Structure 1
Amino acid sequence: MSAQEFDVVVIGAGPVGENVADRVNQGGLSVAVVEAELVGGECSYWACIPTKALLRDAAALRAVRHLPGARAAVTGDLDVAAVLRRRDRFADGFADDGQVDWLTAVGITLVRGHGRLSGRRAVTVTGPDGGTVQLAARHAVVLATGTSAAVPPIPGLADARPWTSRDAASSSTVPDRLAIIGGGVVGTEMATAYRALGAAVTLIARDGVLPAVEPYASSLVVDSLRAAGVEVLIGASPTAVERDATGTVRITLADGASVEADEVLAATGRAPKTTDLGLEQVGLVPGDWLTVDDTLRVVDGSGALLDGGWMYAAGDVNRRVLLTHQGKYQARAVGDLIVARAKDEPVDTAPWGRHVPTADDHAVPQVVFSEPEIASVGLTLRAAEAAGRRVRSVEYDLGAVSGAALQADDYRGRAGMVIDEDTSTVVGFTAVGPDVAELLQAATIAVVGQVPLHRLWHAVPAFPTVSEVWLRLLETAGRDTADRRPA
């Protein structure tokens, strides 16, 4: 069977694969995208979009209840059915017609089915009917297959039919009791969402709640979860899970205690979707994360390019940063690099890791949509110190900022920045509080741009807004920062 030829073949049509294809297409190259599930991927149907839709109604209701005049107009609780309908609307009813229409409109070829590497710049696609299609790439194959939920090897858990993040994001019902194993972003956000929707929630956080963020931020979230009625078990370690004949799930903990629930969500991390990708055809190990060079070309265990550098990996599958927006950032860079190499044009690698740090290295922005929200970018104090930087941290009570106090009565929050003493720049920022997500882009620009503190003094925040916290943080850092210059 002769192969269909394209300049580029992309395996995976999630946000990363779509952006690679779009960038390549705009550069004048032909491109095919292979997808076995829904075009749009995890983020569109089972992660970012639907989970934020689940959380939004409850966040709006909480905001109203912190304003006395508005609170008087609230006469009931959440309409759970309406929340789920809105979630489904944002997930396009779990159908990808709109995404497919876009691919067609811009001239990108979609090949439905499971794609596997079958040789040098070759991909075999097995379609839903079992038939196969052979694809050949003239210039590059891009692996953008992402990750799937990892179910931990707790005895009995797999047999207990646990929820994964997909089930939590797409469930058509709310269980009376939900147990969550894992205190990371997924566990925390789903504890927030399902408690607001009426479930009795137990969060089992062996390694703590959001252990990667600043301690003051995770502490406020734990306080809020407990105030909302979530049972938070920090340090508890599940040793066995069993679902009985009635459907009840019983989780046994290391201390002998147990938790009973109607559903159990395994939220303990992600695994690369590379098990059945044909990696053995190119000398790599199926199931492993993919390692890449500075321009996201796949390398082997010794760091050498695979067969001249025709294979790229972008997004979660390369394990640089497991966030959709960072994957899309990588995708745009990969697309431009492939086009430049295909046209034998100079490849400017300076914006992608050779001479200056990239966002993947030092300025990753992230929002945890818990109650309260956590917005962060760059390094925590702990991470900066571990990297050997000479740093200090300054913090400020967000509730003492006029804009925050006006936004909600009893506003509780905190913001902090990590300052590199040698460069007099902000290398990390974290804010925790209601609606702090909208503070994040300013912080990201400050970190990415390596803006010296003496220049930040001239970025005057409008009064009265929550952004005034920037002025308060600079004042806390010391008035001499207005004149300090890097050595």
Structure 2
Amino acid sequence: MTETESIAYDVVVLGAGPVGENVADRTRAAGLSTAVVENELVGGECSYWACMPSKALLRPVIARADARRVPGLAQAVQGPLDTEAVLRRRDYMASDWKDDGQVGWLDGIGADLYRGHGRLAGPRTVVVEGRDGGRQVLTARHAVAVCTGTRAALPDLPGLADVRPWTSREATSGRAPGRLIVVGGGVVAVEMATAWQSLGAQVTMLVRGKGLLPRMEPFAGELIAEGLTEAGVDLRTGVSVTSVTRERPADADTGAPGTSARQGKGTVVAVTDTGERIEADEILFATGRAPKTDAIGLETVGLEPGSWLSVDDSMRVEGNEWLYAVGDVNHRALLTHQGKYQARIAGAAIAARAAGDTEEESAAWGAHAATADHGAVPQVVFTDPEAAAVGLSLAEAEQAGHRVRAVDVDFASVAAAGLYADGYRGRARMVVDLEAEILRGVTFVGPGVGELIHSATIAIAGEVPLSRLWHAVPSYPTLSEVWLRLLEAYRG
């Protein structure tokens, strides 16, 4: 690519993950010319290093766990998983880390793809540094949308780079280690511990806090901790890592950075704050995320490089008329489905503003505000048991000033739980606003509960009164009958 004159588009999108793709889809559907800039694979983190490969790894794990609890089937599934078959399916679900299909989709909607590193170079201007060393300048008539997502945040430990630790990328794209240390107690940590333990690794989890999944109801972390321990994970809480080294043999091959085979040779040694020395083949740090905004030219438009970008409900950067930040970079809800929701909102808002509509003139402006980011964010943790939650936890609701009551039900009271599996263990909670008599939050923990959470999301997003929920009759015998038990417990 050689430098050419500036090319003008209505919209320029930085980042071609699910969020950037959805912004482009909406702006193109509105007739706006759109350029998309991507330095890696079109499809982004979710397609290749997060949602798709991680769930492909976890699906056989959870299916086998369910089957082992059903008499008549349990004896047939007592053997180990076929690790190579699981990894082959994982690779297939990640499109073998090739983005031809996603590129074809972008072409099909009429968006122009620019391969290379994009960075802002002043208002409405993006410079693309091409892979061949050339430069292309793009200008945006209406909007630039930053959809660059996040990266793994690693702790400041001396020599950590030399250890070549796993992050979420290596954990979802790598090969099975014999021994794995997982540092962290959040979603990535518990899901990857679940997957690799079931695929034959000896997993040690080191959690700095008192329990797992600190942003969920406490019982969610407790039940998942029980499941991990029963599966053979060595779970240790209240433990911090103070140093990490890798002891390599003299003939070690350090591997190829950036590939799915990025596994260093030799033994990883982690030392804890108690002085204990723990050895493994790989170490995964699942200790948070940071915005990928450090090298996209934010300083040229008066913003701080490496910062989260604050936005209004239409995803427009505060104090700005043309710059949007959509998905993880705005730090509202770091989940793929929420980012795609935001992208649909942002695309509609960009199109409306490009058409000259104002909030007063457009009856549809309500559709251009991402209100669900504030109180109706759903999430599923794909472990054994599963955990699914939407809205506020009891503690969050109380901190927000709501007068609430928590209603808890054991899934043992639901007939379908016994049909689902022998010894089914699970718990449900709804957080009721006592003044409005609507739900502020719902949490389910147990096998198969991920498919229940959308009903709770509808109830919370729609602010459905409890008096109406009595008339949403659950089918018998299904796990959704837990709704009836929760309402009965509330009524007393």
**Displacement, 1:345?**
2.0
1:20-419 matches, cutoff 5 A: 20-74=23-77, 76-171=79-174, 173-207=175-209, 208-246=211-249, 247-299=266-318, 305-306=319-320, 309-347=321-359, 348-353=364-369, 358-419=371-432
Find the counterpart in structure 2 of residue 484 from structure 1. none
Asked if the contact 1:152/1:268 (under 8 Å) is kept, the reply is yes
Find the counterpart in structure 2 of residue 485 from structure 1. none
**Displacement, 1:351?**
4.1
Asked if the contact 1:352/1:358 (under 8 Å) is kept, the reply is no
> Aligned equivalents of 2:464 and 2:192: distance in 1?
36
> What is the one-letter code of the residue matched to 1:274?
T
Q: Which runs of 5+ in 2 are unaligned?
A: 250-265
CA RMSD of aligned residues (A): 1.1
Residues 233-269 of structure 1: CA distance to partner in whole angstroms, max 9, x if unpaired?
Answer: 1110111111112411111111111211110001000
> What is the one-letter code of the residue matched to 1:286?
P
Residues 417-466 of structure 1: CA distance to partner in whole angstroms, max 9, x if unpaired?
Answer: 00000100111000000110000100000000101111100001011000
Find the counterpart in structure 1 of residue 440 from structure 2. 427
SS in 1 for 2:73: helix
> What is the one-letter code of the residue matched to 2:327?
G
Answer with 35-44 or 249-258: which moved more. 249-258
Find the counterpart in structure 2 of residue 452 from structure 1. 465
SS in 1 for 2:477: coil
Residues 313-336 of structure 1: CA distance to partner in whole angstroms, max 9, x if unpaired?
Answer: 000001011000000000000000
**Displacement, 1:370?**
1.3
> Aligned equivalents of 1:187 and 1:399: distance in 2?
28
> Aligned equivalents of 2:57 and 2:314: distance in 1?
37
Asked if the contact 2:413/2:485 (under 8 Å) is kept, the reply is no
> Aligned equivalents of 2:192 and 2:412: distance in 1?
26
> What is the one-letter code of the residue matched to 2:302?
G
SS in 2 for 1:209: coil
> Aligned equivalents of 1:311 and 1:120: distance in 2?
8
> Aligned equivalents of 2:78 and 2:489: distance in 1?
43
Aligned length: 468
**Displacement, 1:352?**
4.8
Residues 83-117 of structure 1: CA distance to partner in whole angstroms, max 9, x if unpaired?
Answer: 00000000011100000011111211111100000
> Aligned equivalents of 1:352 and 1:223: distance in 2?
43
Percent identical residues? 58
> Aligned equivalents of 1:350 and 1:106: distance in 2?
26
Asked if the contact 1:376/1:429 (under 8 Å) is kept, the reply is yes
Find the counterpart in structure 1 of residue 260 from structure 2. none
Find the counterpart in structure 1 of residue 482 from structure 2. 469
> What is the one-letter code of the residue matched to 1:350?
G
> What is the one-letter code of the residue matched to 1:68?
P
Asked if the contact 1:351/1:358 (under 8 Å) is kept, the reply is no
Answer with 231-240 or 289-298: which moved more. 289-298
Asked if the contact 2:349/2:368 (under 8 Å) is kept, the reply is no
> Aligned equivalents of 2:123 and 2:395: distance in 1?
44
**Displacement, 1:376?**
0.3
SS in 2 for 1:459: coil
> Aligned equivalents of 1:265 and 1:433: distance in 2?
26
**Displacement, 1:293?**
2.0
Q: Cα 1:75–1:250, aligned 2, differ >3 Å: closer, same or farther?
A: closer
> Aligned equivalents of 1:372 and 1:33: distance in 2?
40
Residues 42-93 of structure 1: CA distance to partner in whole angstroms, max 9, x if unpaired?
Answer: 0000000100000001111111111110113336320000000000000011
Q: Which runs of 5+ in 1 are unaligned?
A: 300-304, 480-487
**TM-score w.r.t. structure 1 length?**
0.94
> Aligned equivalents of 1:86 and 1:285: distance in 2?
41
> Aligned equivalents of 1:191 and 1:216: distance in 2?
19
Residues 197-250 of structure 1: CA distance to partner in whole angstroms, max 9, x if unpaired?
Answer: 010001111023111111111100001101111011111011111111241111
The 4+ residue runs of structure 1 with deviation greater than 6 A are none
> What is the one-letter code of the residue matched to 1:187?
A
**Displacement, 1:120?**
1.5
> What is the one-letter code of the residue matched to 1:107?
G
> Aligned equivalents of 2:165 and 2:76: distance in 1?
40
